[in-house]
Structure 1
Amino acid sequence: MATTMRYHVYLEDEPTLECYRLSHQPRPEYAPVFICPFVVLTDDDGQMYNAMRGIQGQSKNETMNMGVYRLDGQLDAQCPVLFPYAENPITERYHVTETPDAVSYVGQTWRFDFGVENYRWVDGSGRLDISARRLGQVCTFWVPQQEGYEYPQMLRSHLGKATGTLDGRPVEGLFMLDYIYSRPDAMWTEMGMLTKLHNVWLNWLVEYEDGGYEGGYAWRGRPGTDFAAAHHVVDGVSSARSDAEVTTQHTERGSVTKVDLALGKDSSLSLEQAGSTDWPLHTCGTVSSTSSDRVIAKSWNYTEFFPLNWSAVADYQAAHHKLYGRYPSFARLMKNGRVENQLLVFE
């Protein structure tokens, strides 16, 4: 059973290139166990896309390609993968290089260039090519090692505005970069973030007609944790918070359709979902309203929902890998599933 835990949320000073290296230690004996950039983009026609890739997702020496998707309006099934995995493999080895302006992670079909406030991501052998500028400060939450949490957990989150091209067409939208830390020997999948901490997590970016913006991230922890970390940035001014209140609405199958976020009593917003990228975990969409009296011009959101019995899925995936040397097809695994009372069940 989850227990109330101790955690801290705070803003970082201006990052340096040291913060992007695999050798970075924000605290003694901490190391990056997962590095994950992701985007939600729209083109000139309003078509929405999502991409995500994680360094050290399943192996210390590989990246995990979580796909580039074209949102199709369906919430109860996975939307189409835009780049075939035969051309853009699920796993790839990588190497790290460095210039005076960036630390770069480079694979066969992709590369990341992470700088102090500017980022570039090329994927699909150039089909996706975006640059991003950081908005506000880096915001970090830290869960120290404590009873029930044998692995410490730290996440440093960067919010940005992305612009670039996808298959030659101009796109723009939300950019996020998360550096997740724990003990150097840990894998991201075993440190407990998905099975002991996480329930709902969301990221958003709004551009207002007056030229300003608002965005950030917010979490709803598993029942009993009281975890409610958030980062809220308005027109360049960041605040770290621990008062996020997240409520969700769902389809009959259990997919997230709408998310309402309240940050204390002074700010709130609603997120509408426009498609699912890997059911039931991820949905993308727009921001339908905020408590500000400003008029929304453009908006994007990325929402992640983990059923409370996700540890059973993780155990099955690990057992399959041990038996067959590969992980099972996620789409086939979820094909006959549904979510009831936040629990994943199968027919």
Structure 2
Amino acid sequence: MRYHVYLEGEPTLESYRLSHRPREDYAPVFICPFVVLTDSSGRLYNAMRGIQGQNKNETLNMGVYRLDGRLDAQCPVLFPYAENPITERYRVTETADAVSYVGETWRYDFGVSDYRWVDGSGRLDLTARRLGQVCTFWVPEQEGYEYPQMLRSHLGKATGTLDGEPVEGLFMLDYIYSRPDAMWNEMGMLSKLHNVWLNWLVEYEDGSYEGGYAWRGRPGTGFAAAHQVVDGVSTARSDASVSTHFTERGTVTKVDLALGADASLTLEQFGSTDWPLHTCGTVSSAGAGKTIARSWNYTEFFPLNWSAVADYQAAHHALYGRRPSFARLMEGARIEDQRLVFPRESA
């Protein structure tokens, strides 16, 4: 598979609009900010929301969670969906400083280097500042990939409040592009490209920091895109090596990441937000000879047969006009050799 990883210059407001065309016949198909946060007591939180998650004119609220230390089960959502709906329509506004996406219970303000995120009708209120450059990977159309795939990733440090308590941590904003007619879950990123994806941010006691993202593609793709930021200096890389460790049920417990021969990190997972896909935690080792003061990681693992789950969700939606409960769908399942196995299959 052919792909390219490269750094971009300073973004402009144009790059945050739905009309942005980084290449001819490309358009944003998914816009996704997410955070991993800690409060003053060290408790971990996660939030994620996607614009155009299931429909072009809606956002998909993937939940706000307090991590509870359990890996083999989904931790409870912090904001009830009755108050913070799973889907909401939105409008787009713009000022001289930001492009804003606005719903009934949430708001994003995306500026050149600064971001604002308010969710849960104000219960979550964050500002973030970009660290390093925007890093993009691009998979052009080729045999086996009829949809082009492009992801522009922004790393930042977030500060703010959650239910009035100060929080800080990792902020990421991903813009995913393909043909304008595509939805992000139709373009093949989940079924043909993606196996493991992770993000991290580490602050050392000496005041320095590093962070970034890394991918492990599906077997046979050779996909190993990464972005490394060290004290504001970005490097686009294609030499990520990701080794995953699992519980007996198949949840990711730890990730060993190497970037070529010059960087290595260990990411410890503390809880699962939507088993088995997402886990969050901290970084237990990084930066030779440096002491970690604070750290955060967000890890996403897609089983190799995930396309079967996506097909079932689509069929359920076609029959009943709604998607099935994800938590109920995963009840009793486990992962063997990176493949979901359900009770009837293992009987």
Residue 167 in structure 1 maps to residue 163 in structure 2 = yes
Unaligned runs of 5+ in 1: none
Deviations 1:102-130 (A, max 9, x none): 00000000000000000000000000000
Amino acid at match of 2:200: W
Separation of aligned partners in 1, 2:118 and 2:288: 35
Separation of aligned partners in 2, 1:266 and 1:40: 26
Deviations 1:34-76 (A, max 9, x none): 0000000000000100000000000000000000000000000
Deviations 1:181-225 (A, max 9, x none): 000000011000000000000000000111110000000000000
Corresponding residue pairs, total: 343
Separation of aligned partners in 1, 2:93 and 2:118: 15
Aligned to 1:332: 328
Aligned to 1:126: 122
Amino acid at match of 1:289: S
Aligned to 1:31: 27
Aligned to 2:296: 300
Separation of aligned partners in 2, 1:53 and 1:75: 21
Q: Secondary structure at the match of 2:313?
A: helix
Residue 135 in structure 1 maps to residue 144 in structure 2 = no
Of 1, 4, 10 in structure 2, the residue corresponding to residue 14 of structure 1 is: 10
Separation of aligned partners in 1, 2:325 and 2:68: 21
Residue 50 in structure 1 maps to residue 53 in structure 2 = no
Unaligned runs of 5+ in 2: none
Identity of aligned residues (%): 85
Amino acid at match of 2:214: A
Aligned to 2:188: 192
Separation of aligned partners in 2, 1:159 and 1:212: 16
Q: How does 1:93-172 map to 2 (within 5 A)?
A: 93-172=89-168
Residue 222 in structure 1 maps to residue 218 in structure 2 = yes
Separation of aligned partners in 1, 2:87 and 2:185: 15
Amino acid at match of 1:83: F
Aligned to 2:232: 236
Aligned to 1:212: 208
Structure 1 stretches of 4+ moved >4 Å: none
Separation of aligned partners in 2, 1:261 and 1:61: 37
Aligned to 2:315: 319
Deviations 1:245-264 (A, max 9, x none): 00000000000000000000
Of 258, 280, 287 in structure 2, the residue corresponding to residue 284 of structure 1 is: 280
Tell me the CA shift for residue 231 of structure 1: 0.1
Amino acid at match of 1:158: H
Q: Secondary structure at the match of 2:206?
A: coil
Tell me the CA shift for residue 292 of structure 1: 2.3
Residue 67 in structure 1 maps to residue 67 in structure 2 = no
Separation of aligned partners in 2, 1:292 and 1:31: 41
TM-score normalised by structure 1 residue count = 0.99
Q: Secondary structure at the match of 1:190?
A: coil
Aligned to 2:251: 255
TM-score normalised by structure 2 residue count = 0.99
Amino acid at match of 1:184: P
Separation of aligned partners in 1, 2:13 and 2:161: 26
Of 74, 78, 84 in structure 2, the residue corresponding to residue 82 of structure 1 is: 78
Residue 270 in structure 1 maps to residue 266 in structure 2 = yes
Q: Secondary structure at the match of 1:52?
A: strand
Amino acid at match of 1:256: V
Separation of aligned partners in 2, 1:153 and 1:293: 38
Aligned to 1:346: 342
Separation of aligned partners in 2, 1:208 and 1:101: 32
Q: Secondary structure at the match of 2:109?
A: strand
Tell me the CA shift for residue 291 of structure 1: 4.0
Q: Secondary structure at the match of 2:47?
A: strand
Separation of aligned partners in 2, 1:176 and 1:267: 21
Separation of aligned partners in 2, 1:292 and 1:319: 50
